[in-house]
Amino acid sequence: MVPSEGVLICRRCGKRLEMKRSESLVSRTEQRGRTMTVIEDSEGAGLPTTKYKCPECGNDTAYWWLRQLRSADESEVRFFRCTKCNFTWREYD
């Protein structure tokens, strides 16, 4: 789910959820038998970090994670989020 103007929007199905500010960094929602996990805060919530230059602010540390977005025979997509400005970008192989 992606935050946009006070709501969270699923890129796949378009479902919209109102963003709530709370003590919790992670929320889980069940939909169609699947559990979706959303990081709601600017903190990394335990994500690993790596030395990688942010294209927006030039900071040299970023959180990273992998997602299989395409078919199973294609490589995973690497996502990065700057630890300073929270800019998020992706890399493909």
Domain spans of the chain, in order of start: 2-39, 49-91
**Please, which pLDDT band fits residue 46 given cuts at 50, 70 and 90?**
low
On average, the pLDDT of the chain sits at 75
Is 73 marked active-site?
yes
Enter the pTM of the model: 0.51
Q: Per the residue annotation, which of 41, 43, 56, 74 is the catalytic one? A: 74
* Fold held by 49-91: N-terminal domain of TfIIb (2.20.25)
36 is in an annotated binding site: no
CA distances from 79 to 6, 13, 62, 82, 89 (A): 22, 20, 10, 10, 6
**What are the beta bridge partners of residue 42?**
none
Place of tokens 């919209």: 16
Cβ–Cβ under 8 Å, residues 81 and 73: no
- Give the β-pairing of 26-31 and 34-39: antiparallel
CA distances from 8 to 39, 48, 53, 63, 64 (A): 11, 23, 27, 20, 20
60 is in an annotated binding site: no
Residue 23, amino acid: E
State the pLDDT at residue 33.
66
Cβ–Cβ under 8 Å, residues 1 and 9: yes
